Structure 1
């Protein structure tokens, strides 16, 4: 089943609907409207001089927290607690701003913090805390003047925005699930068509083998016997030559018939296509972005080299599914002069927590590579893990 979130809980960067758009900077923009001229924005009353230092400090907190929420690729800013702390800082600073200066556009801050709690990250305990604080922070300025209905209206408005955002999030996830189901259905249809084609090929192979090949084999034996009898009875050489030629044609036809049967039964998938099917299956099964890039001119490889490439790709994708769920996977198959290079890298956005030499899977890949004179390199990178196999073929 696919997922909307990566391993750190962020919405996947390749999702549609503007998940990485500049709208994420709205808390900073809303907070800065305090210091803009009234004719530019609905800023309400001017900021009092004694409030200015406190408001500047709170606005800086909002901006800093907003930066901590952005989906940077740096490992230091990808930790879940960083974004959680940033969201909590924005929420508390927004409440402080409204207590000091409850006017103008800044009233949108509690609405936006509550939206952030459910829009760009998977919901968690902190999300509900932020929603509650946003409702209270938006309502408290009205309670200071005992405007109970206004306070209730603001709190319910924050809650309504949260529900609408959650509904949109759920609708997007359902759309992705529908797309995945359609892709899997198409894959099933293609597999059924392929199975039907293979069954038909097998039927034709049986017919060719049972009828044509047997008939040609019988004809060849009959002509051979005829030739021997003609030689025994001292027939003319011209007749013997014609029978010999007919026997050779029958023998050649039998060879071609057997080759056709072998071709019909041996439905070998090209090496590049086999690895591409692995990557496609990985993408459909996990929902993680995965892509195969082929460079050079694809060619048929020896059976041992093709098997080593296929098993290495299979093991690398299995390890990515196990140790970096949801992470982007890039596979590159490079057909060079005299050798073929397969590189599979996963990108969870951080180095592996425990970089080891690998278990029996990696050991088996290395042994398979050494048996055919190849080279296998595995190890951590700055943002994930890489497997690289070079085979001399």
Structure 2
């Protein structure tokens, strides 16, 4: 973004209202006579220039001080009124704006300032301060106008100084000889131009930074919405998958065996999981509320055991193995592993009904890896899904600097998520995937309606 093209605008600033809409001049004069300070402050807030009122007041005070000092220096020329007329020209924009609603613009400020300086210089004095009027005026114009206009006014001011120096009306010494003062004042005009440009660029950079902050806030809000969407999706997919398995088991028990007790047991589990899912959804959606919600711990890597148990009780043929210490796994990595395992098993129920699955969790000093594999019964095609589940797993893995592989394997479908546990240690290649697959294949099979989880080496 080119900062020179940023147009600042003060939030809540009011534009100058035309005279016909703001009342008659007489009413404004009465208001100014009744409360001049209050009306001056209100007029400052109506200026279209995006600067704090203090900056404008300080510039006016400095102009007034220089004008008064230049007038006092010319006391020997009294009773001529040229210095007084010059001071009036310097401040003609103030009553014009307060009483008539005429907004100061670079043209009027530049012309009036250069005319006032010319009137001062028509009466030369020693060590004159009048040329500093041009420094203030050039700075003001550069602060509110474009760079071209500011440079043009600065060139005009320097040309005015050069013209008066050439005709001998600037800085006369006691012996009526001129001395080199014009270069000093010209440099002062250039410095005034630079100060005005710095003020303008400062405000523009400020608004550019505010724009970037708004963009970052919007991006953070979008990421938070995505995170909540992933959480809600994982909770719903998991709960519905297991609930459907329980309902299928209950229907099967009633249709085939007339086993009411087994059907009731399956319905009770489905009800429990449904209530748990509703509580999780309320907690996740509660993150969008501004009010503080009850803090509930997020699932961790230690809850994968219970997660697999829910699927086992629902009738999914799944084996789970974990022989390592889970203490090195952080809360963030543990939540990611839990959600990935949850989504993977839910996909098995959804896309491969009747399949057998295995869940293997391996943790060492450097990495934590979760591998979920399942068969594809009935010759189901091994196709990648295009829903939210797989993309959500990819996002979780990338946020934590891990690796995720999902696709067809030798026996069906495999999902593997691997996360680093120590940032100081680099990834190393090892035959861990093959070992885990062999270990999963070596586990004894479980019936179609398992009731317990088999753990080896626990």
Question: Which structure ranks higher in relative contact order (CA pairs < 8 Å, sequence separation ≥ 6)?
Answer: 1
Normalising by structure 2, what TM-score?
0.41
Larger radius of gyration between Structure 1 and Structure 2: 2
